[in-house]
Structure 1
Amino acid sequence: MVDEEGPGSAPSLCELLLRRFRDWDSISVVWDTLAFAYSRSEMVHDALSVLAKMRDLNLKVSTSTYNCLLHNLRHTDNMWNVYNEIEDTGTPESDYTTSILIDGLCQQSGSLEEALEFTKDMERHGVQPDTVTYNILCKGFHLLGLMSGARKVIQQMLVKGLNLDHVTYTIMICGHCHVGNIDEALKLRKEMISRDFQLSVIVYSVLLSGMCKSGLVEEALALLYEMEAVGLEPNLISYSILIDGLCKQGDVQRASEIYREMYRKRIIPNYSAHRAILLRLREKGDIYEARKYFDHLTAKAVTEDIMLYNIMMDGYVKLGNVAEAIQLYKQIIEKGINPSTVTFNTLIHGFCKTGKLVEARRMLDSIELHGLLPSPVSYTTLMNANCEQGNIKGMLELLREMEAKAVEPTHVSYTVGIKGLCKQGKLWDAVHLVEKMYAKGLTPDQITYNTIVKCFCKAQDFEKAFQLHNEMLMHNLEPTPVTYNFLINGLCVYGGLEDADRLLVSLDDGNINLTKFAYSTLIKAHCAKGDVYRAVGLFLLMMEKGFEISIRDYSAVINRLCKRCRITEAKYFFCMMLSDGIFPDQELCEVMLNVFDQGGDFDSAAELLAEMIKFGFHPD
């Protein structure tokens, strides 16, 4: 009757009971049965409504009805209201009552402390927690990823003389695999075997998953054979885990062998197995093998899964073969398969990549024609393509269209917008867009700030550039070496070289990791200015930092010194280069021959000429 009437039917059924069953001896049992039926059917609001009527009629609620209701309310705060009612009415509690309550507390976020306190309260009232109670506590710690807490519960069990059962081991193994501690999980497996516990398919599957995630695929395969040896038949989940693990290691051949083994055992692979193999074949760069496998699936009529099409289309687009991706899209439409937003995003990316922005826009419009919603990626891809082609107006129109259609721009969308505004020289508009991001609860990343910092440096507005740098720090966003490259390069080219020097020294003192570009930029700037000693000092500092020094670095300094007629210093760097085991190219050799000739150092010129001929150069 409850199933037929459905949710919200409690008031009418209660009214029926009041009219028809008032004088029956078993009236309490009938009302209790109604409350239990609603609880069992998970219509908790109706069950609570019946309980309220029973209170008005002074009718007794059974322990089983309370337990059933508690079980369905264990994820909510209403659980406590029902438990308090049990205590207030003096209804006897069963072991199941306390187990449900503790399980509920363990599964509610942050309520584990209450669960522990409740077990202590049980003991204070002479009720000893049993293995079931402790297993529930272990499960609570496992769900929170707190395996140290679970181990303490195990210790309490052992102190009280309780034995770990199959459930305890299963919970602990699942917990350790979940936090990536596969070694501890495998120790527990050995312990289970030593105590003659039969591992279930679930335990094996959890271990297989943990091993594959840890890269122990060979060991996982051995475990699969162990399953079969002890008489357990691997299921779809077990095989799918291994296929995915082998594919992630790039071993598609063995993954395919397991795939075929599944078919031999009449276990039909699910979509995840097909996707894993196809994705790995594509990522290996073998698009022909991937297509052959895809066509094999097509022949078996498996490809109703749009994700398989998306994988193949993405592979073709990445190779620049948009035409083949379009052919697959036509297949999707012809077969009546519903495309996804990802399908259209892949084609939008492909058209943008080949510069066909009109077709990309057409694809964006097609998304809604198929009853789908464009994603931020749909718009951002097209925005970036417009920006690259210099169509900043079109890019900004797309950003406004996103907002108008309630497609929330991501921080990447705004970064593309900022890049476009910077290209137009609208730096303050770009700053306002950063402020808008914060107002919408989005945090700009380093790329966002680097884009705008670079443009303010070019505009010679170093005050604003450094203000943006400080803003990054204020928002706990660590500036990248690229940020400092822009600032140092900007000061060297447009600002004061002394300021660039001071910045590098302060960063060096603060143990900020800089790239080689920062040092080489300053070295070139000092060479151009004629401050050779500072350039030499920075060059030596760059070497001390462990950066790999190439012939290009030496050539840049030597050529600049020669242009400034600093012959002695040019010779110094040339000798330093040779002592580092780096032989110059022909162009630099000819520069140095000219230097030796101008300085009258004909012996050095003759030696260098001989070395040039030895290395196969053909001097003029």
Structure 2
Amino acid sequence: MLLEEGSGSAPSLCELLLSGFRSWDSSNVVWDMLACAYSRFEMVHDALFVLVKMKDLNLGASIQTYNSLLYNLRHTNIMWDVYNEIKLSGTPQSKYTSSIVVDGLCRQSRFQDAVLFLRHIEGKEFGPSVVSFNTIMSRSNGSMEEALEFTNDMEKHGVQPDIVTYNILAKGFCLLGNIEEALKLRKEMISRGFQLNIISYTVLLSCLCKSGRVDEALKLFCEMRANGLQPDLISYSILIHGLCKQGEVQQAIQLYGEMCLSGIFPNSLAHRAILMGLCEKGMMSKARLYFDSLVKSNLTLDVILYNIMIDRKVDEARKLLDTIKLHGLEPTAVTYTTLMNAYCEKVIKGLCKRWRLQESCQLLEEMHAKGLTPDQITYNTIIQAFCKAKDMIKAFQLFDEMLMHNLEPTSATCNILINGLCVYGDLKDADSLLVSLQDQKINLNKFAYTTMIKAHCAKGDPNRAAIYFRQMVEKGFEVSIRDYSAVISRLCKRCLMTEAKYFFCLMLSYGVSPDEEICEVMLNAFHRGGHLSSVFELLAEMIKFGLVRD
């Protein structure tokens, strides 16, 4: 029935219950079942609406209903409100309640609050469980001292560590590069009767390979299979990567073939490792054949695989350019532009060192010296590269040089510079640039305005953002729900709720309907302001008007 009625049906169903079940002795059970059902179908806002009605009727919810809600809300601040409601109502908690709260606090990056909560429930009827301890330990930010302290606490409270506990500790030691301690834990696990699982082996394999101890990793890999565990994609990929780093490309390819025969489809990490390994060994023809086979197999290749090949091709291209000159031939503008685009593209993707940018500038000078004219695309490419390198001074020098050579800036040029100033430079300079471009009657596109609007919202200047927003609307650009959502989200993050409401009303006045994202953002922002009653009232209103959808 609930699935048929759908999200937002709580108000009508509550009215039905009020009229039909008020005199029943079991009305408490019926209301509780409704709240629990909404929660289990992940219609959380409807479940909260029912709880508010139950509170008005002086009816209590069961701990099962509360636990279900806590679980669904564990990534939000509202979880804590529900937990406080449990305490206020006097509802007896179960062993799962505290585990859910600890997990929720950790998910919200409230680690210290989670620790305090764990300390608070020590000695209670349902004290901390191994699940709670494991959750805390897994979020201890690499502090092994803190994690080991919790294992001592576990012993004090008679809580036995499980395989998850050991895996967390082993991973912690590996992150610190202390592989010996991790291997000691492996022996302890075996001596205490634990059967290592795939996660246990994967953690150790990764650490051994990173430490260059690939031979030991291979032995552990064999042990894993001898114990009846089937290697998965991650364990295969780790070993393939480790072998390639050691220069054992042939052995890695054999393992790759074995993985495919086992019905495990390799991921981009394995492909990258083999491709890079072949290139490092100078086996470029094999690397090309391997790359072509990946392309022909209709795999969705990531940009890094292409960049590995481009990296080699750029070096080859530079050699070809030198060869052209040696043979007394003059490179054309297309020759230089092609080479420059390759250099700058690598910088943009973060896959080459700073000197490639300087070399691009040298090529630019070389082109001008030979009477060749780079086009706007060439300048845009290198200007964007310097913006991403956070060198705005050089980016504007190139912009001035572009104007000096009578090249009209394109909308892409303007967008690159405005975005660069907003992200890496001074927002006042971005304002000045935009005004200057407007004065010069240069046609700016929507991206220029949305960039400025978002930047001013993020920096806490909603008035300036509103000015640009109105300009954008006046220029006839289509303003979508995403544009409003971006502005409202940034204002809510800075707790500028009056301004957020202004944009919300502006959106409605232009006939744009709000969506779930905007409603959730505003709801959480009101919550952070400490207006709990307003949260539930607003939530109820949103459901009535269909503004919240689970």
Partner of 2:35: 35
Secondary structure of residue in 1 paired with 2:76: coil
Shift of 1:401: 6.1
Shift of 1:290: 0.5
The answer to whether 1:289 aligns with 2:286 is yes
Whether the 8 Å CA contact 1:180–1:210 is kept in 2: the answer is yes
The answer to whether 1:56 aligns with 2:56 is yes
Partner of 1:258: 255
Whether the 8 Å CA contact 1:244–1:277 is kept in 2: the answer is yes
TM-superposition CA deviations, 1:582-620 (whole Å, max 9, x none): xxxxxxxxxxxxxxxxxxxxxxxxxxxxxxxxxxxxxxx
Whether the 8 Å CA contact 1:21–1:27 is kept in 2: the answer is yes
Whether the 8 Å CA contact 1:387–1:416 is kept in 2: the answer is no
- Mapped to 2, the partners of 1:112 and 1:97 lie a distance apart of 17
Partner of 1:305: 301
Which amino acid in 1 is paired with 2:389? H
Partner of 2:67: 67
- Mapped to 2, the partners of 1:399 and 1:377 lie a distance apart of 19
- Mapped to 1, the partners of 2:290 and 2:332 lie a distance apart of 27
CA distance 1:39–1:361, change in 2 (3 Å): farther
Secondary structure of residue in 2 paired with 1:250: coil
The answer to whether 1:159 aligns with 2:137 is no
The answer to whether 1:409 aligns with 2:387 is yes
TM-superposition CA deviations, 1:453-504 (whole Å, max 9, x none): xxxxxxxxxxxxxxxxxxxxxxxxxxxxxxxxxxxxxxxxxxxxxxxxxxxx
Shift of 1:303: 4.0
Secondary structure of residue in 1 paired with 2:32: helix
Shift of 1:172: 1.4
CA distance 1:252–1:407, change in 2 (3 Å): closer
The answer to whether 1:388 aligns with 2:385 is no
TM-superposition CA deviations, 1:118-170 (whole Å, max 9, x none): 233223656543433322332232xx222210100111222344332222112
Of 243-252 and 412-421, more deviation after overlay is shown by: 412-421
Using the size of structure 1 for normalisation, the TM-score is 0.54
- Mapped to 1, the partners of 2:19 and 2:332 lie a distance apart of 75
Secondary structure of residue in 1 paired with 2:75: coil
Question: Of 225, 243, 247, which aligns to 1:246?
Answer: 243
Partner of 1:497: none
Aligned ranges 1:270-419 → 2 under 5 Å: 270-297=267-294, 301-305=297-301, 307=303, 308-320=305-317, 356-357=335-336, 384=361, 387-389=364-366, 409-412=387-390, 414=392, 416-417=394-395
Which amino acid in 2 is paired with 1:442? Y
Whether the 8 Å CA contact 1:54–1:60 is kept in 2: the answer is yes
- Mapped to 2, the partners of 1:312 and 1:193 lie a distance apart of 45
Whether the 8 Å CA contact 2:70–2:100 is kept in 1: the answer is yes
Partner of 1:137: 136
- Mapped to 2, the partners of 1:34 and 1:408 lie a distance apart of 59
TM-superposition CA deviations, 1:76-132 (whole Å, max 9, x none): 3222211110011111111111121222223332x3333333233223656543433
Shift of 1:353: 12
Partner of 1:150: 147
Partner of 1:47: 47
Structure 1 segments unaligned to the other structure (5+ residues): 324-351, 368-373, 427-435, 445-620
Shift of 1:38: 2.9
CA distance 1:297–1:148, change in 2 (3 Å): same
Structure 2 segments unaligned to the other structure (5+ residues): 321-330, 405-417, 427-550
Higher relative contact order (CA 8 A, sep 6+): 2
Shift of 1:55: 1.4
Shift of 1:296: 4.0
- Mapped to 2, the partners of 1:276 and 1:316 lie a distance apart of 18
- Mapped to 1, the partners of 2:33 and 2:332 lie a distance apart of 67
Whether the 8 Å CA contact 1:316–1:322 is kept in 2: the answer is no
- Mapped to 2, the partners of 1:165 and 1:437 lie a distance apart of 51
Shift of 1:210: 2.0
Partner of 1:117: 116
Whether the 8 Å CA contact 1:201–1:232 is kept in 2: the answer is yes
Using the size of structure 2 for normalisation, the TM-score is 0.61
TM-superposition CA deviations, 1:182-201 (whole Å, max 9, x none): 22222111110111100001
Partner of 2:10: 10
Which amino acid in 1 is paired with 2:277? R
Whether the 8 Å CA contact 1:239–1:258 is kept in 2: the answer is yes
Partner of 1:223: 220
Partner of 1:100: 100
CA distance 1:401–1:55, change in 2 (3 Å): farther
Aligned residues: 393
Partner of 2:431: none
- Mapped to 2, the partners of 1:171 and 1:228 lie a distance apart of 22
- Mapped to 1, the partners of 2:317 and 2:95 lie a distance apart of 66
- Mapped to 2, the partners of 1:121 and 1:23 lie a distance apart of 41
CA radius of gyration, larger in: 1
Whether the 8 Å CA contact 1:147–1:175 is kept in 2: the answer is yes
TM-superposition CA deviations, 1:334-380 (whole Å, max 9, x none): xxxxxxxxxxxxxxxxxx9996355579999xx9xxxxxx9899997
Whether the 8 Å CA contact 1:376–1:413 is kept in 2: the answer is no
Which amino acid in 2 is paired with 1:239? Y
Which amino acid in 2 is paired with 1:172? L
CA distance 1:377–1:138, change in 2 (3 Å): closer
Aligned ranges 1:480-519 → 2 under 5 Å: none
Partner of 1:78: 78
Of 244-253 and 171-180, more deviation after overlay is shown by: 171-180
Whether the 8 Å CA contact 1:255–1:277 is kept in 2: the answer is yes
Secondary structure of residue in 2 paired with 1:133: helix
Which amino acid in 1 is paired with 2:208? M
TM-superposition CA deviations, 1:419-438 (whole Å, max 9, x none): 759999x9xxxxxxxxx999
Aligned ranges 1:532-543 → 2 under 5 Å: none
Partner of 2:170: 173
Shift of 1:231: 1.5
Partner of 1:486: none
Which amino acid in 2 is paired with 1:305? L
- Mapped to 2, the partners of 1:55 and 1:298 lie a distance apart of 61
- Mapped to 2, the partners of 1:310 and 1:156 lie a distance apart of 49
Shift of 1:318: 2.9
Identical-residue share of aligned pairs (%)? 46
- Mapped to 2, the partners of 1:164 and 1:153 lie a distance apart of 10
Q: CA RMSD in A?
A: 4.4
Which amino acid in 1 is paired with 2:231? P
Aligned ranges 1:605-620 → 2 under 5 Å: none
Secondary structure of residue in 1 paired with 2:177: coil
CA distance 1:292–1:84, change in 2 (3 Å): same
Whether the 8 Å CA contact 1:380–1:412 is kept in 2: the answer is no
Of 390-399 and 272-281, more deviation after overlay is shown by: 390-399
Which amino acid in 1 is paired with 2:366? Q
- Mapped to 2, the partners of 1:135 and 1:164 lie a distance apart of 9
TM-superposition CA deviations, 1:279-327 (whole Å, max 9, x none): 221233321111222344456x25442544554344333322999xxxx
- Mapped to 2, the partners of 1:440 and 1:128 lie a distance apart of 50
Which amino acid in 2 is paired with 1:47? A
- Mapped to 2, the partners of 1:117 and 1:248 lie a distance apart of 44
CA distance 1:186–1:414, change in 2 (3 Å): same
Whether the 8 Å CA contact 1:138–1:171 is kept in 2: the answer is yes
Whether the 8 Å CA contact 1:182–1:210 is kept in 2: the answer is yes
TM-superposition CA deviations, 1:562-585 (whole Å, max 9, x none): xxxxxxxxxxxxxxxxxxxxxxxx
Which amino acid in 2 is paired with 1:293? Y
Which amino acid in 2 is paired with 1:414? M
